[in-house]
A = this chain, B = another copy of it.
C-alpha cells in the first residue's frame, strides 16, 4: 500500500499543540504501574499550559502525585490518516485545593461511570505536535 506517500508531516509549535489539545475533551494517558506500561482513556480540560484529568482509571490506579506520564490527543481520521496528534510528557500533581477541585469537577466528566476519582493536573515538560496533511 502506498497511502503514506500522499501524506505530509508538519511539526506544530508548542503553542499550536496546546491550542489544538484544548479543542478536544478526550485523550489517553500513559504511565508506569509496577514497572509496566499502562494506558487509559480519560477526559481532560486545558488550564493554561496544564492538562487536568480525572484519575479514575479503572483497574489500574495512577499514583496521582509526582508521577511522570505521557498524554496523547489526536484527531487522526482512520481512513484518510489526516489530522493532528499532540503528545505531552509531564509530571502529575494531585489537585488538593477544594475550590480548584470543585471547579474542575464542573468542567470534566469522569470517563468511567460511577468510579471514585481524584483530579490531577499534568504540567507538560515536553510537547510534541504533528499535523498530517494531504498533498
Contacts and interface: CB of A to CB of B under 8 A. Distances in A.
A36 to B, nearest CB: 6
**A26, A31, A39 pick with most chain B CB within 10 angstroms:** A39
A108 B2 CA distance: 10
A3 B109 contact: yes
A74 B41 contact: yes
A67 B62 CA distance: 21
Interface in A9-28: 9, 24-26, 28
A30 B24 CA distance: 21
One complex includes copies of this chain to the number of 2
A45 B23 CA distance: 30
B7 A76 contact: no
Interface residues of A, number: 48
Contacts of A107: 1
User: Nearest 6 CB-CB pairs, A to B?
Assistant: A30-B30, A30-B39, A4-B113, A30-B37, A39-B70, A39-B72
Interface of A: 1, 3-9, 24-26, 28, 30-32, 36-41, 43, 58-59, 68-72, 74, 76, 78, 81, 85, 87, 89, 106-114, 128, 130, 132
Given A1-B108, A37-B89, 20 more contacts: A1-B107, A1-B109, A3-B109, A4-B109, A5-B113, A9-B112, A9-B113, A24-B78, A28-B30, A30-B30, A32-B37, A36-B68, A36-B70, A37-B68, A37-B69, A37-B70, A39-B71, A41-B76, A59-B128, A112-B130
